[in-house]
Amino acid sequence: MVLAKPGLELVGAFGERAHRAGMDLGEVIGLDRAIGIPINADLDKVIEETRPEIAIQATCSRATDAAGEISILVQHGINVISIADEMVYPQHKFPALADSLHWEAVSHGVSILGTGANPGFVLDLLVITLTGVCADIHTITARRVNDLSPYGPSVLTSQGVGLTPDAFNSGLQNGTIIGHVGFVESMHMIARAVGWEIERIEESREPIVSQVRRATSSVTVEPGQVAGCHHKAIAYVGGIPVITLDHPQQVEPQLEGIQTGDSIEILGSPHLNLAGNPEIPGGQATMALAVNTIPRVLSAAPGLHTMVDLPVSAAMLADARSFLPEGIKKESG
């Protein structure tokens, strides 16, 4: 997407996987041609050789894994957009890390933003945007039923796809089965936006046991095996369950007649509901958000931001430079 957008120039690529070291980025991302950008495993070197204005950090899900790379970028005066799930709202689970990144960004005059389809959009920003038309709210319920088929082995493994139900339950115990990363972030983002103080969050993870054979390019699930993880979370305020986020993720759901989609229901003044089928595709949406937020991040005050702190990102259908305020355009040439 960066290669295709007028006004953006892709200048460098960092990646640590040994088997990709030195490979041309064009080949790695499935283009038919080399683009003259080798994948470099030395982040400092990539930065020094390419001097980007902004970096898209897309190497992990956890804030603690992302913070090191983000910090190096920030120290070099580079703005950062991270798609690490926990970076969408690190302020709750990692307040010290969030604080440290914030002041590091301030002192280097750059901005950091975490974004993604979910967390970052469907079960938080979109929900918060809808709450704006409410005078009062009793409960928020949002559901994302998605298809994991486009994803590769690392995502499928973390959801237990292809395991027996017993192995799934063992995986839950030993922490190899994770389900969705992002409920805590989405819920605290919503709560902060509307002024709720969450007392506790209850989460449940159930295996989705397939009745039929389901096959993707990465995995085959036989009947009786696990096709995915039904992960659900409920947030309590004043002893009452006020936010419910429900997110069953599986490969090939249509083989059992399951319709994928996103839905949001708010009970309040007024009641609201909004739904779409199929679901907003996670991979494509995360890519688009990461690129479409570039002008917002370059225009933001220095610091660590969330999707709710900045004006909403829109599709960039003209030269990317035209979305920057005049002063910033000049500065960045």
Q: Does 137 bind its own copies (CB under 8 A)?
A: yes
Instruction: Give how many residues touch its own copies by CB under 8 A.
Output: 53
Q: For its own copies, which residue of 195, 257, 327, 333 counts as binding (CB under 8 A)?
A: 195
| 8 sits near its own copies (criterion: CB under 8 A) | no
Report if residue 254 touches its own copies, rule: CB under 8 A: no
Q: Where are the beta strands (DSSP E) in the chain?
A: 13-14, 39-40, 54-57, 79-82, 111-114, 136-147, 200-209, 214-215, 220-221, 226-237, 240-250, 261-269, 272-276, 303-305
Check residue 226 for interaction with its own copies (CB under 8 A).
no
Look up tokens 């982040």; give the residue. Answer: 43
Per-residue binding letters, 196-215, with its own copies (x by CB under 8 A): x-------------------
**Nearer residue to its own copies within complex by CB, 76 or 192:** 192
54-57 sheet: strands from edge to edge:
54-57, 79-82, 111-114, 303-305
Q: Exactly one of 101, 112, 113, 289 binds its own copies (CB under 8 A); which one?
A: 289
Q: Out of 154, 204, 259, 284, which residue is the one contacting its own copies (CB under 8 A)?
A: 284
Residues 3, 183: Cα–Cα separation, whole Å: 32
Between 96 and 317, whose beta carbon lies closer to its own copies?
317
**58 is an interface residue for its own copies by CB under 8 A:** no
Q: Closer to its own copies at the Cβ: 140 or 177?
A: 140
Give the residue, chosen from 68, 95, 109, 276, that forms a contact with its own copies under the rule CB under 8 A.
276
With binding defined as CB under 8 A, does residue 313 bind its own copies?
yes
CA distance 189 to 107: 25
Q: Residue 29, interface with its own copies (CB under 8 A)? A: no
Candidate residues 22, 30, 36, 132; the one interacting with its own copies per rule CB under 8 A: 132
Q: Tell me if 81 contacts its own copies by CB under 8 A.
A: no
Q: From CA 242, how far away is CA 57, in angstroms rounded?
A: 33
Is 175 or 239 the residue whose CB approaches its own copies more closely? Answer: 239
Q: How distant, in Å, are the alpha carbons of 170, 176, 206, 238, 267 from that of 159? A: 13, 9, 10, 32, 31
CA torsion angle 283 4 112 152 (round to 10) = 20
Q: How far apart are CA 164 and CA 173, in angstroms?
A: 14
Q: Which two tokens stand for residue 276?
A: 């779409």
Q: Which residues bind its own copies (CB under 8 A)?
A: 1, 4, 117, 121, 125-126, 128-129, 131-137, 193-196, 262, 268-270, 272-277, 280-281, 284-285, 287-289, 291-293, 308-319, 322-323
